[in-house]
Amino acid sequence: MSVPQLLRELHQLTRQVNEETVQSEHALGNIAKTHERIQTEMRSTVSPYFRCKLRGLYTTAGEDAKRTLDLVNQSLDRITEIKALRSSKRVGRGLASSAFAAEQEVQQQAVRKSAMRRGVLMSMLQKTAKELPVFEKTSSKQSQALVGSNAAGNNYHAKPGDQIAALVETSEGEEQWILAEVASYSVTSSTYVIEDIDEEGKSVRDRHSVTKSYVVPLPKYKADPAVMPNALFPVGQKVMALYPQTTCFYPGLIDARPSHAEAEYMISFEDNSYVEGYSPPLEVPQRYVLLWKEPKRRHRH
C-alpha cells in the first residue's frame, strides 16, 4: 500500500475516532443522569430496574471505548507503516510492509471474533423484530396463537432455538424476566433449559432450568391493526416489555398502539424516579411486548 493510500485511511480513521468520541460522551451522560435519579430516591439499595439499566448503559459505554481504542490502534498502525515506507531504504521494504499489514489484519480479526459486542446484539434484536412477518389469514381454521398479543395455547411449548421471556433468579438473588433462548424442553417434567441471550463478558451463556409457568413465548407474527385490531394490547394495559438497549423485560403501560403493522408500541415503563411513577413513552416492537405475568413463588430446580 502506498503512502497516499495510507494517509487517506488515516484521515478516515481519525474521523471515525471523533464520531466514536461523541457517542461515548452521550453514553457517559446517560450514565450520569441515571445515577442522579437513583440519588433522588434516597434509597440504601439500587432497585433491579436501575441495576439492569445501569448494567446495559455501562456495557454500551465500555463497548464504545473498545471501538474507540481499536480505531486509535489502527491509526497508530497506519502511522507506523507510513514511517516505515518513508524511512526504509531496503529493496525488500515492500515485502516487509506487506508482512506487517498481514500481521495487523490477523490481530484485528481476532478482536472481531471475540465475544459479541452488546451493540451488535441490540442491532440483531431490532433486526429480528423488524423482520417478524405480518400475519395473513388464509382460512377460518387457521390458528391465531402468538399473533401480536394473542397468547400461545396451554399445550404449546417453545422449540429449541426459539427466543422466549423467562423468569430467572439473578446472581443477586432477585427474580428478573430476561430474554432467553430455548436449549431443550422436557415434556415429562414440563421444564425448559434456557440460555440467557446476553453473553456479554462471558465465555459461555448462563443456563437456567425453569418450569413452563415461568416461560412466555414471543409472538411469531406481527398483527396489522387495520385487519386484527383485537390482536393488539389496548391503551392502558399493563404489559412487560423489553427495555430499550437491554435484554430485560420490565412492567409498563401501553401508551399508544402501533398505527400500522410495521409501527411499534409506545410503552411507559414503571419508574419511581418520575413523579407520575412512569417513564416517558419509549418505542418497543410488537415482538418484545407481552402480557404482564406476576411472579409467584418459584419451584427451584
pTM of the model: 0.64
Alpha carbon distance 116, 247 (integer Å): 14
pLDDT of residue 93: 44
Phi, psi of 52 (to 5 degrees): -70, -40
pLDDT of residue 64: 82
pLDDT of residue 41: 66
Residue 42 C-alpha cell reads as 434516597
Asked if residue 164 lies in contact with residue 157, where contact means CB atoms within 8 angstroms, the answer is no
Residue 280 C-alpha cell reads as 416517558
Residues 6+ apart with CB under 8 A from 103: none
Per-residue pLDDT of the chain (301 residues; tens, 9 = 90+): 776 777 778 778 888 888 888 777 877 888 888 887 777 766 566 777 778 888 888 888 888 888 888 888 888 877 877 777 666 544 444 444 455 555 555 555 444 444 446 778 888 999 999 999 999 988 777 889 999 999 998 899 999 999 999 999 877 778 999 999 999 999 999 999 999 998 665 667 789 999 999 999 999 999 999 999 999 999 999 999 999 889 999 999 999 999 999 999 999 999 888 888 999 999 999 999 999 998 765 544 4
pLDDT of residue 283: 95
Alpha carbon distance 193, 231 (integer Å): 29
Alpha-carbon distances of 299 from 30, 169, 210, 212, 213, rounded to whole Å? 38, 11, 8, 11, 10
Residue 186 C-alpha cell reads as 422436557
Alpha carbon distance 283, 181 (integer Å): 23
Phi, psi of 70 (to 5 degrees): -60, -40
Dihedral (CA of 134, 286, 228, 280) sign: negative
Alpha carbon distance 156, 122 (integer Å): 28
pLDDT of residue 86: 67
DSSP-based three-state secondary structure for 109: helix
H-helix or E-strand spanning residue 266: strand 265-269
Helix then strand then coil, % of the chain, to nearest 5: 40, 20, 40
Nearest to 100 by CA among 112, 111, 88: 88
Nearest to 218 by CA among 156, 288, 285, 166: 288
Q: SS3 sequence, 157-208?
A: CCCCCCEEEEEEECCCCCEEEEEEEEEEEECCCCEEEEEECCCCCCCCCCEE
pLDDT of residue 55: 83
DSSP secondary structure letters along 5-43:
HHHHHHHHHHHHHHHHHHHHHHHHHHHHHHHHHHHHHT-
